[in-house]
Structure 1
Amino acid sequence: MLPRFWWSPLLCVGLLACNGQEQEKKPVADPATALAADGDHMVSINAADAPPPPPVVVPAKDREWPELVLENGKAWVSCDTDYSGENGDGAVLEALDRKSLDAALEPCKERGLVRVRYAGKINPSFAGLVSRLAVVADAMKIGKRILDLDSSGGQVEAAIVAGDSIGESGWTIWVREGSICHSACVFVLAAGDNRLISGKVGIHRMMRISSTATSRAELNKELHEVYDNVKDYLQRNGVAVGVADLMMTVPNRSLRLLTSDELKQYGLDGTNAVQDDLERIKQMRKCGDDFVRRKDAFLIAFDRECKVEGADLEAVNNCGQTLKEQFGFPDEVCPDESPLSEIDTALLVPRPEATPDPQAPATAPAAAQLNAQAGQH
């Protein structure tokens, strides 16, 4: 099900659209043109110029979706966490129709893990991409989902739409070494259930597209409309609203890179605090108090011992995999709820196909085994 975002206050990001009164219309730049040419800026648009919401998902029996083209970006699909190996980022995602997405994610069904590498702008087509990926992953019961981001930013409203979709569909977000997550990309990062960061995360002030402001006071009033929505979004994702306040102080043409300590302080690195609360309630019932205590202890140790400044993401994951053994993970009763369970999934050795022997007695299929070498994918 698509997130409930289009009836939210985001529809009232512009003063002219919210006051309910007819006002003189002034010539404005084409938002599509502005977005394509905005470079590394973070832009916000008036509600009247807002892009249409992602197409409503049609029933599963109807395989056709409305046309959607990925603009100013590129995506790859992999069924593995190893981005430095032979397959790298995986196969290029050529189209966003249902048939193409089904074919792209089909190889990931057996392992139950998909990693989507996205490099490009945060825009309405990106928001449509993540919502469609979630629908297909749900249909195929692919529970482990990684969004591997590299983006200089884009549109605020599209980032929040994408983030609400991500927040409802269970994604871990990576910003790996050599990658960036700047500007509006930070709002997407905020939505992940878990965030692993080795690349650079930066923020700056947003720029209004189609603004009718003629004075600082008018522009400030317009921006406050947007920042109020931004702060509400950050709060529901467990991120400090101080991020929005800090953005206001950095000129749009500049960039303020956040340190590792600041990322943790603002709640942008590691486990999403709101999601963690939800998971604790569910896991306490399903897995027991001991499981929750061990998981808490592991996460503290993981932050302290594995997430070292300058470490690449593969090293962080390998460290976490080794550390998990000390805390009794993966848990026998609740393996899917164990921390970094997507890494466990990636280490599963697929069971080789065998020709059945008609003379042999029927036996239950053998369980897949974990690879003993944590660094081998």
Structure 2
Amino acid sequence: MLPRFWWSPLLCVGLLACNPQEQDKQPLPDPAVAQASDGDHMVSINVTDVPRPAPVAVPAKDRDWPEVALENDRVWISCDTDYAGENGDGAALETLERQAMETALAPCKERGLLRVRYAGKINPTFAALMARLAIVAESMGIDRRILDLDSSGGQVEAAIVAGDSIGESGWTIWVREGSICHSACVFVLAAGDNRLIAGKVGIHRMMRISSTATSRAELNKELHEVYDNVKDYLQRNGVAVGVADLMMTVPNRSVRLLSAEELKQFGLDGTNAVQDDLERIKQMRKCGDDFVRRKDAFLIAFDRDCKAEGADLDAVNTCGQALKQRFGFPDETCPDESPLSEIDTALLALPSSPVQAAATAQVPGPAAVH
């Protein structure tokens, strides 16, 4: 159910947050807090303007496909994980019209891998995009899906609608180096089955645009109902509700950047805890106890050895791919359930790069897992 109230965090946290490349060139003086400078920090949205995304399980041919404009949002479609390579972000998606989306995803069908690069606001258009992508990918049997995200924030309610769609349709979420995920974007990040973060993640207080409050007490009463909805959303995605409490302490004209340690503590980095529990139950039945023990040991080693703060995603993926050999992955019996299976798919029929070959050569042989 959509919340009764509409409110939004900062649409853009200063000029640097609007342009991640400029953020890299001009580091902020305070690494924990970035001050906004543009003053355009909130919008008013009518609840009836927000589309409810279709359930992913319903075939696309049986659904209405109303026109939705992309406006200033940018979307690229790729069938590869190598964003630094020749194909980069992939081909631009110009429209959310059904036939155009089916044509854009068709090249990804053979490999079964889809990477979507999204740079823009978290808004109803984004929610519609994610729901439609899941429907088309499902119809084509594209099971491995990556959302390569760069957003300064937007509408929290749209983020929750999009997040629920993402959570039901199996997405890994990347925030790669040079990208940001601020304010409402954090709720999208929460919904991923797995999250790999090399960019900046930031939070701040949220403001209810339709507020009629004239005192702190009245505003606090209104926000409590809103935050109850937010906390319920975080809990069903395995994220600590403490992140919502921390948001309350940061003025909405600022952004508090979360450290790598805080991202782990809040459950915003790595494997989604709720999804992990669900997968463990399924994998115990399908793949056996030994598979689950090896996967647990790999994920611990991956967090410790590969996800160094400041490492770019290409280096993280290369390290993880090499590390998997120590733990017997990809598993012959359950290859699709093996960790980082979307990277296995991306490397099928591709020659090993010098970087991958060197990384593999440096990884020790199989080790006993207890």
TM-score relative to the length of structure 2: 0.84
2:70–2:94 Cα contact (<8 Å) kept: no
2:52 counterpart residue number: 54
2:53–2:127 Cα contact (<8 Å) kept: no
| Structure 1 position 246, deviation (Å) | 0.1
1:204–1:255 Cα contact (<8 Å) kept: yes
2:59–2:139 Cα contact (<8 Å) kept: no
Q: Which amino acid aligns with 1:91?
A: A
1:12 counterpart residue number: 4
Percent sequence identity over aligned pairs: 77
Q: Structure 1 residues 118 and 310, CA, compared in 2 at 3 Å: closer, same or farther?
A: same
| Structure 1 position 55, deviation (Å) | 5.7
| Structure 1 position 44, deviation (Å) | 8.4
Q: How does 1:79-158 map to 2 (within 5 A)?
A: 79-158=79-158
Q: Structure 1 residues 38 and 186, CA, compared in 2 at 3 Å: closer, same or farther?
A: closer
Output one character per residue of 1:115-135: Cα deviation in whole Å (capped at 9) or x when no partner: 000001000000000000000
Residue 172 of structure 1 pairs with residue 194 of structure 2: no
SS in structure 2 of the partner of residue 323 of structure 1: helix
Q: Which amino acid aligns with 1:248?
A: M
Rounded Cα–Cα distance in structure 1 between residues aligned with 2:221 and 2:109: 49
2:180–2:201 Cα contact (<8 Å) kept: yes
Q: Structure 1 residues 156 and 323, CA, compared in 2 at 3 Å: closer, same or farther?
A: same
SS in structure 1 of the partner of residue 219 of structure 2: helix
Rounded Cα–Cα distance in structure 1 between residues aligned with 2:102 and 2:139: 9
2:41–2:253 Cα contact (<8 Å) kept: no
Q: How does 1:262-273 map to 2 (within 5 A)?
A: 262-273=262-273
2:301 counterpart residue number: 301
SS in structure 2 of the partner of residue 308 of structure 1: coil
2:342 counterpart residue number: 342
Q: Which amino acid aligns with 1:159?
A: A
Q: Structure 1 residues 38 and 259, CA, compared in 2 at 3 Å: closer, same or farther?
A: closer
Rounded Cα–Cα distance in structure 1 between residues aligned with 2:202 and 2:41: 11
Q: Which of 353, 356, 360 lines up with 1:375 in the alignment?
A: 356
1:63–1:99 Cα contact (<8 Å) kept: no
Q: Which amino acid aligns with 1:375?
A: Q
| Structure 1 position 52, deviation (Å) | 3.0
Higher helix share: 2
| Structure 1 position 11, deviation (Å) | 3.3
2:118–2:147 Cα contact (<8 Å) kept: yes
Q: Which amino acid aligns with 2:52?
A: P
Q: Structure 1 residues 45 and 334, CA, compared in 2 at 3 Å: closer, same or farther?
A: farther
1:324 counterpart residue number: 324
Q: Structure 1 residues 220 and 147, CA, compared in 2 at 3 Å: closer, same or farther?
A: same
2:3–2:226 Cα contact (<8 Å) kept: no
1:145–1:170 Cα contact (<8 Å) kept: yes
Gaps of 5+ in 2: 14-39, 358-370
2:12 counterpart residue number: 39
Q: Which of the two has higher C-alpha Rg?
A: 1
| Structure 1 position 150, deviation (Å) | 0.3
Q: Which amino acid aligns with 1:12?
A: R
| Structure 1 position 53, deviation (Å) | 2.2
Rounded Cα–Cα distance in structure 2 between residues aligned with 1:241 and 1:63: 35
Rounded Cα–Cα distance in structure 1 between residues aligned with 2:229 and 2:44: 13
Rounded Cα–Cα distance in structure 2 between residues aligned with 1:204 and 1:92: 31
1:227–1:244 Cα contact (<8 Å) kept: yes
| Structure 1 position 295, deviation (Å) | 0.1
SS in structure 2 of the partner of residue 375 of structure 1: helix
When the two chains are superposed, the root-mean-square deviation of aligned CA atoms in Å is 2.3
2:5–2:208 Cα contact (<8 Å) kept: no
How many pairs were matched up? 329
Q: Structure 1 residues 190 and 56, CA, compared in 2 at 3 Å: closer, same or farther?
A: closer
2:257 counterpart residue number: 257
Q: Structure 1 residues 82 and 283, CA, compared in 2 at 3 Å: closer, same or farther?
A: same
Rounded Cα–Cα distance in structure 1 between residues aligned with 2:305 and 2:119: 29
Gaps of 5+ in 1: 1-7, 15-30, 351-369
1:228 counterpart residue number: 228
